[in-house]
Amino acid sequence: MSDATKAPAQKETRLQLCILHVVRTIDLTPRMRRIVLGGQDLADFDVPTNALGPYVKLLIPPKHLAEPEWPTIGFDGRLVWPAIERRPVMRTYSVRRFDKAAAELHVDFVMHGDRGVASAWAARAQPGDVVGIWGPGCPTTQNIDWYLFAGDHTALPALAFIMEHLPPTARGQVFIEIPDETEMQALARPEGVEVTWLCPNGAHPGTTSALQDAVKAASWPSDARVFVWAGAEGSVARSIRNHMRTQHRLDREQMYVLNYWKRGASEGAFGYVD
C-alpha cells in the first residue's frame, strides 16, 4: 500500500478525545452545579449553534486516580479500554455553553447524590482536576414551524442552549419539570416560544406525571410542521414517545425523545431510545 493510501486510514482511527481540566465551579442553584472546563485540546473542538441539544461523552477518572489511563484505538480499529480499575467511566452531558475565544466549555450537572459517578465527581471537582470528553454529538433538524420541547431538570442545560440559539422567529412551547422553584433559571428565548415551569414540590425526580401530562395536553396549529424534542427519565420519555407516535402519528424524523436517565439504573445499563 502506498503512503498516499495509508494516510486517510490513519486519520480515521485517531481517537478524538480532548483531555481537559476544571477551570472553576459555580453553584447555579441548590441542585445544579456548573463545571467550566478548559484546555488546549479545545482548539479543535466546536459546537454548531443550530444543534438541538449538543452533548459530549465525559470520561471521568475513578475516584482514586488523578488521571486515568485513556482508551485507545487498537490495530483493528476497535476501541481498547484499559483495565477496569484504571479506566474512566463514561457519562453523557449537554454542552451548556462553548466559548471558543476563551476556550471554555460549560457543563451543568444535576446534583442527585453520591450514587452517581458523574454527580459525585461534580460535587468534589476542584480547579485542575482532569476529565476527558468525546464529541460533540449534535442533533439537528430543519424547516420546522412549531417546536414542542419537554425536559426534566437534567434537560435544562440542553434546553437553555437551544433557547439561546433558536432563530428569533421560532414558535413553540417548552415544558420544564424541576424539583421546586429554587431550581428555576432565567432563560433567553425567542418571543414566540412560551416556557412553562412545572414544579411538583417535594416529589422525587422522575416519579411524577407532570411533564408527560403537560406534553399530552399540548396542541399546535394543524398545518404546522412540528418537531418534538424531549429529554427525561426513561419511563417519562417512553410515554411521550408513544403518545406522539400513536396520537399524533409522528415518525422518527419529527421527534427526538431521549431517555436521559433511568430510575434505579446507571448510564450504560439502558438505551437512550426504547
Ligand X SMILES: Cc1cc2nc3c(=O)[nH]c(=O)nc-3n(C[C@H](O)[C@H](O)[C@H](O)COP(=O)(O)OP(=O)(O)OC[C@H]3O[C@@H](n4cnc5c(N)ncnc54)[C@H](O)[C@@H]3O)c2cc1C
First to last CA, the chain: 44
Q: How far is the CB of 222 from ligand X (least distance, A)?
A: 31
Contacts of 140 (CB under 8 A, 6+ apart): 48, 50, 51, 52
* Site map (CB under 6 A) of ligand X, residues 49-78, x = contact: ------x-----------------------
Q: Is 263 in the site for ligand X (CB under 6 A)?
A: yes
Kindly tell me which residue out of 98, 175, 256, 261 binds ligand X, with binding defined by CB under 6 A.
261
Residue 248's nearest CA partner among 274, 225, 271 is 225
> For residues 77 and 271, which CB has a smaller minimum distance to ligand X in the complex?
271
Helical H segments across 88-222, by residue range: 117-124, 156-165, 210-217
Kindly tell me which residue out of 193, 244, 250, 258 binds ligand X, with binding defined by CB under 6 A.
258
- Please list every residue from 97 through 116 that binds ligand X, using CB under 6 A: 108-110, 112, 115-116
> For residues 108 and 183, which CB has a smaller minimum distance to ligand X in the complex?
108
Do the beta carbons of residue 67 and residue 73 sit within 8 Å?
A: no
Q: How far is the CB of 123 from ligand X (least distance, A)?
A: 10
> What cell was used for 143?
424547516
> For residues 216 and 263, which CB has a smaller minimum distance to ligand X in the complex?
263
Sheet of 130-137, strand order: 89-94, 55-60, 130-137, 17-29, 32-38, 104-110, 97-99
- Please list every residue from 165 through 194 that binds ligand X, using CB under 6 A: none
The helix/strand count (H/E) of the chain reads as 5, 14
Do the beta carbons of residue 178 and residue 203 sit within 8 Å?
A: no
Q: Is 205 in the site for ligand X (CB under 6 A)?
A: yes
Q: Is 240 in the site for ligand X (CB under 6 A)?
A: no
- Total chain residues near ligand X (CB under 6 A): 28
Q: Is 229 in the site for ligand X (CB under 6 A)?
A: no
Kindly tell me which residue out of 94, 173, 208, 239 binds ligand X, with binding defined by CB under 6 A.
94
- Please list every residue from 16 through 45 that binds ligand X, using CB under 6 A: none
> For residues 94 and 173, which CB has a smaller minimum distance to ligand X in the complex?
94
Q: Is 208 in the site for ligand X (CB under 6 A)?
A: no
Q: How far is the CB of 263 from ligand X (least distance, A)?
A: 5
Omega of the bond prior to 88 within 30 degrees of 0, cis?
no
Do the beta carbons of residue 240 and residue 228 sit within 8 Å?
A: yes
Residue 150's nearest CA partner among 241, 270, 220 is 241
- Please list every residue from 124 through 153 that binds ligand X, using CB under 6 A: none
> Can you point out the beta strands (E) in 76-158?
79-80, 89-94, 97-99, 104-110, 130-137, 146-151
> For residues 110 and 144, which CB has a smaller minimum distance to ligand X in the complex?
110
Q: Is 91 in the site for ligand X (CB under 6 A)?
A: yes
The footprint of ligand X (CB under 6 A) covers: 55, 91-94, 108-110, 112, 115-119, 154, 157-158, 205, 258, 260-267, 272
